[in-house]
Amino acid sequence: MAALINLIVGYVASFIGLIPPGLLNMTAAKIGVKQGIKPAVLFSLGVSLVVCVQCYIGLVFARYLDGHPEIIDLLQKVGLGIFLALTVYFFLLAKDSRREIPSGIKRSKTNRFFYGVLLGALNLLPIPYWVYVSITFSSFGWFSWDTSLVGLAVFGAGLGTFSMLIVYTYFFHKRLPVGKFSFNVNYLLGSITAFVSVITMVRIWQQI
């Protein structure tokens, strides 16, 4: 029973965490519309792999980090720098996503997987998120810290992440013309990273 609970907690927490439009799910949607389902699936697999690693780190060090808030503060500051850089990139440097891809140009599908790995690694929020989730559920007796069962939670987290990214991919793929967005998604992504940056700065300011 504990094994099933850990698997469900990992899946549901990861799935719900990606429901709001964010950097990862909107990027998956963009790739799905611009390049097709298969590249978006590879991107999602790359992100999911990183989320598994981040979930494992968060679970292993959950209780330690809970007793050392200064480490969480450091992660917030590093994350702030990354999201500010991404905001500048999406608003000023990224190409307009509404531009159609010339028919003669082929994108490497393998690069989509590694792009997912890179973008997932730049997003440090899952680590404190899984620290919070695991400690909260553990306090209710709904999470086991047994080594083998932690692995099930990690697998569930990766599966939940992949599922929600695919939901976004198919949703936009079915509703937008193939090869183009009706709006520049980079502005949306930039707005999301800017919003996260502001929230992070407020949290850091409150802790000073």
- Res 131 pLDDT > 70: yes
pTM of the model: 0.69
- Res 113 pLDDT > 70: yes
Q: What's the structural domain count of the chain?
A: 1
> pLDDT band at residue 149, thresholds of 50, 70 and 90?
confident
State pLDDT tens for residues 154-163. Answer: 999 999 999 9
Quote the CA–CA distance of 48 and 160 in Å, as a whole number: 8
User: Which residues span the domain enclosing 169?
Assistant: 2-101+108-207
> pLDDT band at residue 186, thresholds of 50, 70 and 90?
low
